[in-house]
A and B are shown apart, each in its own frame.
Chain A
Amino acid sequence: DAGVTQSPTHLIKTRGQHVTLRCSPISGHKSVSWYQQVLGQGPQFIFQYYEKEERGRGNFPDRFSARQFPNYSSELNVNALLLGDSALYLCASSYGQGDGYTFGSGTRLTVV
């Protein structure tokens, strides 16, 4: 079975630009979450979606948005990019709350 797939794997953007990151969960998983991991730190929660509804949002500015599609795939959008948005963005999917998330390999975003 395919794991959680994320695209693109690497991305370089200029300050002020917009970026869209994509995630396909494991088949059958209806919960998708996004995390930001800055170098040298643990991942920070950005969003959780379940059955296409936002179930939680972390302490991130409104420049960050996301959505989940009917096939449970998800997009993370970031507007007006700042240098500080440079990070590894991880998508994770799960069947249920106690099952443990399966993480993708991430998208490495560099803002210059």
Chain B
Amino acid sequence: AQSVTQLGSHVSVSEGALVLLRCNYSSSVPPYLFWYVQYPNQGLQLLLKYTTGATLVKGINGFEAEFKKSETSFHLTKPSAHMSDAAEYFCAVSSRSGTYKYIFGTGTRLKVLA
């Protein structure tokens, strides 16, 4: 069965500092991988996805993530945090076949300090 672990339910960074949000997955075969952001009282917005090809994936708002098969990781990074990045971030995995469903992690709340 697939699962997702997000290390750190709360992460605080200073404005302008590096953002690193961790995601590890468990899957018998390489899955599709996604990062979503959720602002208060809103739905989820897709930041980026890994399906195939280049393992370093660039997304919106300056975020990127690297798929590392050997480490079963898909960590999200951004070189310089902005106040507007404060939100909840979710990592998700999906099988490449069968039922198209996401398994989400428990989320990481990012706080950006002025």
Contacts and interface: CB of A to CB of B under 8 A. Distances in A.
Given A42-B90, A42-B105, A97-B32, A48 B99 contact: yes
Given A41-B107, A42-B90, A42-B105, A103 B100 contact: no
A52 to B, nearest CB: 15
A104 to B, nearest CB: 5
A109 B70 CA distance: 41
B20 interface: no
A77 to B, nearest CB: 19
Interface centre among B32, B45, B98, B101 (most CB of A within 10 A): B101
Interface string A26-68: 0000010101000001111100101000011010000000000
Interface in B71-105: 90, 92, 94, 96-105
A101 B32 contact: no
A102 B103 contact: no
B113 interface: no
A48 B100 contact: yes
A98 interface: yes
Contact of A97 (B4, B96, B105): B96
A35 B41 CA distance: 15
A66 to B, nearest CB: 13
Interface of B: 4, 32, 34, 36, 41-46, 49, 51-52, 90, 92, 94, 96-107
14 contacts: A4-B43, A33-B100, A42-B104, A42-B106, A42-B107, A45-B101, A45-B103, A48-B100, A48-B101, A97-B94, A97-B100, A104-B43, A105-B43, A108-B41
Interface of A: 4, 31, 33, 35, 41-45, 48, 50, 55-56, 58, 90, 92, 94, 97-98, 100-106, 108
